[in-house]
Structure 1
Amino acid sequence: MADDYATTFQIVDVDGDGLISIPELSRLMEVLGEPITPEAAQAAVARIDVDGDGLISLEEFAGFLSRHRAG
């Protein structure tokens, strides 16, 4: 399942460390024309972050998207 989302994840993971941080999520939303506050970005990461490390792994990202996929 994670492989299905790996390309998208890599685009968001700007620094290439294998994790999406709050600043990376904020930047994504800004680029998409939907800027969010740092607090909103932190809350979004917290909703997706299963292991509680404050970052989004590929597995967490894929799991979230697969659960919330429109269709």
Structure 2
Amino acid sequence: MSNTPHELHDEFPGQAAKISELKQSNAHFAKLAEEYHEVNRAVHRAETNVEPMEALAETDLRKRRATLKDEIWGLLSA
């Protein structure tokens, strides 16, 4: 398990300009990106024991992050 935050620009290298553009021009994308950021930070805080949580709750957060990442990729690759 990695303690490295999974920021969108790290997850999708080379897509920074498109991410920025979509955040400004697509309200749905902006909402997904914001939720991804919030969930990602919660996972990172749990992994680093800044805000420990039960393993099942942490797993659920990781699954939500993966779902959001898939949705974001769908919009980036369209």
* Structure-1-length-normalised TM-score: 0.31
The structure richer in strand per residue is: 1
Q: As a proportion of its length, which structure holds more helix? A: 2
| TM-score, with structure 2 as normaliser | 0.28
Q: Which structure's CA Rg is the greater one? A: 2
